[in-house]
Chains A and B, each alone.
Chain A
Amino acid sequence: MVDALAEIHRVLAPGGTLVDARPDSRVPAYAERRKPRGFQRFGVVKTSRQELANDRASDLAITRVVREGLFKRKRAGRFWHRVPFDDLADLRKYLSEHLRFVHRAEWVVDSATRKRHSNDKFVIRRAVRYELFEALRTRM
């Protein structure tokens, strides 16, 4: 990963910008039912251990190239993104196949409520983090 970031630094003009945007595994995602107005939280979806480890490795690589003087942190932020699903079964299928999340949500509503609304539209709401870096001129 550090190799890739060093290569990115090579192809970036000095003063150029690197954008790193990815799901924010530091906060959980949420399974939500779409209502006529707004959303109802149905469950919490945690990031898989493997992906947490990958994200930590990415963070360490970024920290290293900043420490080595290749990049300077400029700005960071976070926003929420909703992934839509036709119904609860569709959401469950996604979770069972997707590697980023654990395969089962931790439901915060009872099974009767889930059954009653199983044909409603659902979303997974997850945080996306981004950071902008400036490519620094390195001394030869």
Chain B
Amino acid sequence: MSGVAKGSVGDLGRYVPAMSSALRPRPNDELREWGGTPLVRGKRILDLGCGDGRLALGVARFATSVEGIDPDPEAIAAAKRNARKAGVRNVRFAAGAAQHLPFPGAAFDLVILSWTL
């Protein structure tokens, strides 16, 4: 995936900063409420509005692959740093907009809008 998704969001990310992970539920807590690990195990997952990768990195160990998209380039940079720090290899992050996703049709089994819509 390229650094910036098709239909670039321009400056949008500057004005819509990602919400701080510290104020959100822990990924495991959120996942448990939604139905637990069967929801994500072995799945190709897209986390839209991924912010600093809180949830994408939280579900990555169960998933086949995770893509994280967020309009805020600074949040994406933080997400990439967090992924490197955590040693997670099946997650990729890119800046982009939900209206123009840089993926082919039927590319995912699960799309997550966590505090995004």
Contact = CB atoms under 8 A, between A and B. Distances in A.
Nearest to A100: B19
Contacts, number: 92
Interface string B95-112: 001111101111111111
Interface residues of A, number: 29
A131 to B, nearest CB: 10
Interface stretch (A36-44, A77-85, A102-110, A114-122): A77-85
A68 interface: no
Interface of A is mostly: strand
A1 B117 CA distance: 8
Given A7-B100, A7-B101, A11-B46, A58 B33 contact: no
Given A22-B115, A61-B117, A11 B107 contact: yes
Interface of B: 23-25, 29-30, 33-35, 39, 46, 48, 97-101, 103-117
28 contacts: A4-B99, A7-B98, A7-B101, A8-B98, A10-B101, A11-B103, A11-B104, A11-B105, A11-B106, A11-B111, A12-B106, A12-B108, A13-B106, A13-B108, A14-B106, A16-B108, A17-B39, A18-B113, A19-B34, A19-B110, A19-B111, A19-B112, A21-B114, A22-B114, A22-B116, A23-B115, A62-B117, A128-B33
